Amino acid sequence: MTRFSLLDLVPVREGDDISTAFANAADLAAHAEALGYHRYWVAEHHGMAGIASAATAVVLAHIGHATSTIRIGAGGIMLPNHAPLVIAEQFGTLDALFPGRVDLGLGRAPGSDQRVAQAIRRNLSGGADQFPRDVMELQAYFAGDDRVGIKATPGAGADVPLWILGSSLYGAQLAAALGLPYAFASHFAPAALDEAIAIYRRDFRPSAQLQDPYVMAAYNVFAADDADEAKLIASSMQQAFVRLRTGQPGKLQPPVAGYYESLPGQAQAMLSDVLSVSSIGTQVDVERDMAAFLRRTQADEIIVTGQIFDPVARKRSFAIAMAAAQAITMAEPAL
């Protein structure tokens, strides 16, 4: 049975502050738990005025205290930014606070530009090229392996499943080689989706953590009870991508009616590309689109996302997405 989860970038809205973004995230996580979502993940980004989840482990502690049953995790931690020991300690702490609920997705991108990467890491030598070694070092800390010479406290013995995240073939190859679950960032970088999944499943080697390949794919949903409203609320994320691609990132902007149609052809083409794994519409539309995406990918899990300006409209969108997911699940044998 397909699982459905939720990815939150903890958006900071125009006119709001960081504290409000965190309050909205806790409220959304509790809402997701009540709706029946399996996981609630946040992502590490730095130097971005519109995203508040830079201190990812701290944000997850906040989310953990606002919920009681839903799995919480990083989607993901950009491991080249950190010493593996520090991440073992942070997520070992989270596991001690919220036992059996914590996931750790790992990516090799910086989650920032080179200036921010320099400020975080100080030394950029190696970086992403050391990613496989860093993943294995992190595994050793969680396993309490004496060969690393240091016992992570907290961390050693923690029950924190590792995931490899990616938007290219590299992550698929690494996840397969290490026998780890694989999550693909199709919500903003869908180009290599099908090839990456095929490579991961073909080359997967069973591990102590996972015996069979397990694929999660990200999917944007902008849903409302009215199709025009759904189109309107999607415009905030469309603006965010246009602003990012033109070097003008900032806080999440209010929706603008007719925004997509007002753009030049080049910008429309860019949005059609990066947001091609999306559904904008009513529950009927989302159910149709997401079922087609499942047929295409045969994903074991869909992680739903969507930056929406109004917190109430956002909660309603994710409620509609879950209603569509439940209808799809009931019809799964037909997929």
Mean pLDDT by 10 residues, the chain (335 residues): 96 98 98 98 94 97 98 95 96 98 92 72 63 96 94 97 96 98 97 98 98 98 98 98 93 98 97 97 98 98 98 98 96 66
Write out the E strands in 176-333: 182-184, 215-223, 278-281, 301-305
Region of 100 on the Ramachandran plot (φ > 0 left; ψ -120 to 50 alpha; else beta): left
Is there a cis peptide before residue 206, judged by omega within 30 degrees of 0? no
Continuous segment of H or E residues that includes residue 170: helix 169-178
Report whether 171 contacts 162 (CB < 8 A): no
Residue 211 phi/psi, 5-degree rounding, is -90, -25
Whether 32 is covered by a domain: the verdict is: yes
Provide the domain limits for residue 327. 3-225+276-334
Continuous segment of H or E residues that includes residue 166: strand 162-166
The C-alpha angle 257, 259, 265, rounded to 5 degrees, equals: 155
Whether 244 is covered by a domain: the verdict is: no
Whether 259 is covered by a domain: the verdict is: no
Whether 116 is covered by a domain: the verdict is: yes
- Structure confidence at residue 123 (pLDDT): 58
Torsion (CA) 188, 193, 199, 205 in degrees, nearest 10: 50
- Structure confidence at residue 125 (pLDDT): 61
Q: What does the block give as tokens for 329?
A: 């699940």
Longest dimension (CA), the chain: 61
Report whether 30 contacts 72 (CB < 8 A): no
Q: What is the CATH number of the domain that holds 292?
A: 3.20.20.30
The C-alpha angle 198, 179, 78, rounded to 5 degrees, equals: 90
Q: What domain count does the chain have?
A: 1
Q: What does the block give as tokens for 210?
A: 């996972």
Amino acid at 317: S
Whether 250 is covered by a domain: the verdict is: no
Whether 248 is covered by a domain: the verdict is: no
Report whether 92 contacts 121 (CB < 8 A): no
Write out the E strands in 167-316: 182-184, 215-223, 278-281, 301-305
Report whether 196 contacts 204 (CB < 8 A): no
Whether 186 is covered by a domain: the verdict is: yes
Whether 261 is covered by a domain: the verdict is: no
- CB burial of 133-168 (b: ≥16 within 10 Å; e: otherwise) equals ebbebbbbbbbebeebeeebebbbebebbbbbbbbb
